């Protein structure tokens, strides 16, 4: 009987500060990313320094609401362990975590992968919908880390998975549970809230908005409720640029004017962090009350939901059983979404 293939799966996410002292350097790393602030050095370094210094006090206040630190790393570790269990029957699989803007950085993760000496590596961003600001940024960062540590192992990439059946089924089930809290005959509006992007990024060809809308439509279809009242909207708008919309906060105010109750689902997030626990729960929860929304419910992120983890496992199996090195629904549809991930 042959031994199972030794498979390293690298999970990518943005990361978050692990204490108050990490908030400013975390913000600096974020705004120093050339795919976030799209100006050349040394101007980008200067802009990142100014923005991170100015925003750090406000950000520290935000994280103070959730214990002074981001929960994203322990939550991602739980997803990693769950995915290892999901794949245990097929591979000797170990999941590693590479965060983009705070520890563990890609460089230390690449070194850990090299030390484990896998037969193959799978790159799996925990961003279901592809964006140059997330997927491309994390995968590019990994490419640099691999070169730095000299990791030379056959590698396959899962580019994005906006309508992956397990991901969609998990959110449909969580949404169904939230809707069950309402009285029979009461029909709340569902806000599918995703992180926003500057409009110019989407106009330049970023497929994120199209993929977010595809995810929302797929969840609605999986739910199978006729006449559902739902809207796709975008949160976390910052700066003077025009952002894609409609904005989540404006949709909350509109619902208040109409006397509509709301169920908010964080469609672009797979784990809880400041944008769900603070922005959606606290800030937008307060806004909903002020706006006169009768009832405000928030669907939890999919986290380690069994259907979501099974879906990730199926993605890994699919790319491992394919002759292609890249699993990307955009490319399959003839669009060049993830070709830079090769």
222-258 burial, b if ≥16 CB within 10 A, otherwise e? bbeeeebebbbbbbbbeeeeebbeebbbebbbbbbee
**275 known ligand binder:** yes
Only one residue has tokens 């009768």, namely 294
CA 84, 87, 178, 135 torsion-angle sign: positive
The answer to whether 86 is annotated as binding is: no
3-state SS record for the chain: CCCCCEEEEEEEECCCCCCHHHHHHHHHHHHCCCCCCCCCCCHHHHHHHHHHHHHHHHHHHHHHCCCCCCCHHHHHHHHHHHHHHHHCCCCEEEEEEEECCCCCEHHHHHHHHHHHCCCEEEEEECCCCCCHHHHHHHHHHHHHHHHHHCCCCCEEEECCCCCCHHHHHHHHHHHHHHHCCCCCCCCCEEEEEEECCEHHHHHCCCCHHHHHHHHHHHHHHHHCCCCCCEEEEEECCCCCCCECCCEHHHHHHHHHHHCCCEEEECCCCCCCCHHHHHHHHHHHHHHHHHHCCCCEEECCCCCCCHHHHHHHHHHHHHHHCCCCCEECHHHHCCCCCCHHHC
Residue stretches of the annotated binding site: 195, 275
Residue stretches of the annotated binding site for Fe(2+): 195, 275
């Amino acid at each position: 009987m042959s031994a199972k293939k030794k498979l390293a799966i690298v999970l990518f996410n943005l990361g978050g500060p692990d204490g108050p002292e990490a908030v400013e350097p975390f913000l600096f790393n974020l705004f120093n990313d050339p795919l976030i602030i799209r100006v050349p050095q040394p101007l980008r370094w200067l802009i990142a320094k100014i923005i991170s210094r100015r925003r750090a006090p406000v950000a520290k206040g935000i994280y103070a609401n959730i214990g002074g630190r981001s929960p994203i790393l322990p939550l991602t570790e739980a997803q990693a362990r769950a995915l290892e269990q999901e794949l245990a029957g097929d591979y000797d699989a170990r999941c590693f975590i590479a965060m983009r803007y705070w520890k563990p950085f890609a460089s230390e993760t690449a070194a850990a992968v090299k030390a484990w000496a896998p037969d193959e590596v799978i790159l799996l961003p925990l961003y279901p919908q592809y964006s140059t600001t997330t997927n491309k940024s994390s995968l590019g960062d990994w490419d640099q880390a691999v070169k730095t540590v000299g990791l030379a192992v056959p590698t396959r990439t899962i580019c994005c998975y906006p309508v992956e059946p397990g991901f969609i089924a998990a959110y449909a089930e969580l949404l169904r549970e939230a809707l069950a809290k309402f009285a029979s005959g009461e029909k709340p509006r569902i806000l599918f809230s995703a992180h926003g992007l500057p409009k110019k990024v989407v106009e330049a060809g970023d497929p994120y908005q199209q993929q977010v809308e595809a995810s929302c439509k797929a969840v609605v279809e999986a739910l199978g409720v006729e006449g559902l009242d739902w809207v796709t909207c975008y949160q976390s708008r910052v700066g003077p640029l025009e952002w894609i919309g409609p904005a989540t906060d404006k949709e909350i105010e509109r619902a208040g004017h109409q006397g509509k109750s709301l169920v908010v689902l964080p469609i672009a997030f797979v784990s809880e962090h400041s944008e769900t626990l603070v922005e959606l729960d606290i800030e937008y929860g307060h806004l909903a009350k002020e706006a006169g929304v009768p009832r405000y419910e928030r669907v939890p992120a999919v986290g380690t939901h069994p259907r979501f983890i099974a879906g990730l496992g199926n993605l890994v199996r699919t790319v491992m059983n394919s002759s292609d090195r890249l699993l990307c629904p955009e490319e399959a549809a003839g669009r060049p979404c993830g070709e830079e991930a090769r």
